[in-house]
Structure 1
Amino acid sequence: MRCCTGDQIVIETATLDTPRRRGEVIEVIGQGEREHYRVRWQDGHESVYFPGPDARVLPRA
């Protein structure tokens, strides 16, 4: 998974009662296989995110 600043990350969920999460990449941290991201989530909080298999990228328009 590769992201750029401004891309959207969407995290799908495995359970029906949990909504998917969406956030904007505000910083790319690390390189190559160690790349992770600072994300501002739709509820306004920020965190460092290490993507898993349930995540997908929506490129910046």
Structure 2
Amino acid sequence: MMKASKGDRLVMHGRVVGEHDRIVEVVEVLGQDGSPPFKVRAKNGHESIVSPGPDTAVEPHSKRE
């Protein structure tokens, strides 16, 4: 089961050739104990609710500092 924390990044890998990865920042965890769904913000400021699939990786905030 995927778990994330506020400030982590989700890297959603492109599903077809030529499609770029989508990277968003977790701004709120809506599930229990760090589980989805997550409220996320894209670089352009757009916010949405996501329940990521198996093609998504979590980049912990602590590893970017």
Contact 1:9 1:55 in 2 (8 A): yes
Structure with greater helix share of residues: 2
Alignment RMSD (CA, Å): 1.4
Correspondence 1:39 to 2:40 = yes
Instruction: Please identify runs of 4+ aligned residues in structure 1 that moved more than 2 A.
Output: none
Structure with greater strand share of residues: 1
Structure 1, unaligned stretches of length 5 or more? none
In the alignment, the residues of structure 1 paired with residue 36 and residue 22 of structure 2 have an alpha-carbon distance, to the nearest angstrom, of: 20
Contact 2:36 2:50 in 1 (8 A): no
**2:6 match:** 5
Contact 1:21 1:42 in 2 (8 A): no
Kindly, what percent of the aligned residue pairs are identical?
38
Contact 1:28 1:35 in 2 (8 A): yes
Deviations along 1:6-61, whole A, 9 cap, x unmatched? Answer: 000000012122111001000000215x6310000123201001010110000003
Return the TM-score normalized by structure 1.
0.86
**1:22 match:** 23
Aligned amino acid, residue 48 of structure 1: I
Secondary structure of the residue that 1:39 maps to in structure 2?
A: strand
